[in-house]
Amino acid sequence: MYHGELKILFLEDDADDVQLIERSLRKSNFIYKVAHASNKEEFVVNLASFSPDIILSDHSLPQFDSLSALQIVRENYSHIPFILVTGSVSEEFAVKCIKSGAEDYVLKDNLIRLPSIIESAISKKNLKTENNLVKKLNSKLRIANEEIAQKNKDITDSITYARRIQRAILPDKKQLSKYFPESFILYKPKDIISGDFYWFEEHNGKLIIAVGDCTGHGVPGALLSMIGYHLLKNAVYLKNITDPASILNEMSNGFNNVFDIGKRDEPINDGMDISICSIDKKNESLLFSSARRPLYIIKNEKLTEVKGSLVPIGGNQYEKYSYKNQEFIIEKGDKFYMFTDGFADQFGGNLRKKMKTIGFKDLLLRLNDEKMSLNKRALKEYLNAWKRDEEQTDDILIVGFEIS
């Protein structure tokens, strides 16, 4: 049964027939409100002002008939069900009305069928309305998805182009082998662009190698890496600094100036971890200093972890800190590994846990008998086997070199 007040428009010129139809509706417990029209003009006015839920129409009226009324409804109010209620029509005419858009027909001497016909017509109308709503929502959703897909493509294209710029400023990986024939760089961003960066260059007889890990990854991390990269180059080339601790102190001052650290009330949590080695082959020595990144040295098949400072570049609470150097005598065959935390922090394995530094150390020791230049491939294969179907956790960067 229809719930709520049903608005019925009668197109009928016989008042007795109207009462007859209403009596049939009352017996079926319909709650309804009616409007009457006995000619075309009244019919058109009531369609606009009364906004009926359903139309019950006689066939023949003075200078107007049901087919003409049906045409008006179909052209202007196609959502309103139209039911023919008449004294007598041929089967052929009834079929013609239904083909023209009428929901059904009922004879006045058999009005017992009328309530069920109305109920069915209203149900069809509601279903059609719901279907139309679903179609509209689906259309809007499709358009929204297309817009999102296009925006994602535009963003991805922009970030992909940004990757070209980021990689263009990084040193050519092959150049490291010019200084160390047995060396490698494993650089694997989590997203298209990376918050990790590496840098190496010979300056004033010293080979300087740096590995940085900026806050976050993707676009925010990449923007910070650009800042870190240029602070590093400015310290070496403009300030002519070659010892790692002084480079870090200069970078820290530069970072504080960029972000106005110490001049703002709000805390600044952006920053970077970075390790720097300065190798003097002539004097067979290596200077190391770092902000929160260790250095691994494998010498005589033993791995030593050299811990750097616990203080990163950036952050209000660290603005007065001064970094220090550690010096090591180097010999032929010594292996050095500089890295960010992405490799050791990768989830995977049978237990879906982090590899952790102990697992990373064990792996490097197992690879010690192989040539350093082959480590990159071995590390990539191990990483893929370890993480399986897990998402890459963070940017990954490892730089390894052997003294020759």
- Give me the domain span that covers residue 280: 170-402
Is the pLDDT confidence value at 13 over 80?
A: yes
Would you say the C-alpha torsion 41, 46, 51, 54 has a positive or negative sign? negative
* Residues 46 and 174 grouped into a single domain: no
pLDDT of residue 223: 87
Q: Residue 267 to residues 73, 220, 221, 260, 271: CA-CA distances in angstroms?
A: 68, 17, 18, 11, 12
Indicate the residue among 133, 158, 186 that finishes a domain.
Answer: 133
Indicate whether 291 and 223 sit together in one domain.
yes
243 and 351 both lie in a single domain? yes
- pLDDT tens figures, 58-98: 888 878 888 899 999 999 998 899 998 888 777 788 888 88
Same domain, 329 and 228: yes
Distance CA(341)–CA(357), nearest Å, equals 9
Does 293 have pLDDT greater than 60? Answer: yes
Please tell me the least confidently modeled range out of 11-20, 216-225, 301-310, 361-370. 216-225
pLDDT at residue 235 is higher than 90: yes
Please state the domain count of the chain.
2
Check if the beta carbon of residue 89 is closer than 8 Å to that of residue 110.
Answer: no
Task: Note whether 10 and 111 are same-domain residues.
Answer: yes
109 shares a domain with 30: yes
147 assigned to some structural domain: no
What confidence category does residue 291 fall into, taking pLDDT thresholds of 50, 70 and 90?
Answer: very high
DSSP-derived secondary structure letter, 9: E
Instruction: For the full predicted model, state whether its pTM sits above 0.85.
Output: no
Average pLDDT value for residue range 148-176: 86
CB of 277 within 8 A of CB of 199?
no
Lowest mean pLDDT among 110-114, 318-322, 336-340, 356-360: 318-322
Same domain, 231 and 97: no
Task: Determine how β-strand 60-61 pairs with β-strand 64-65.
Answer: antiparallel
What CATH number should be reported for the domain holding residue 314?
A: 3.60.40.10
* Helices vs strands, H then E, count in the chain: 10, 19
The reply to whether 308 falls in a domain is yes
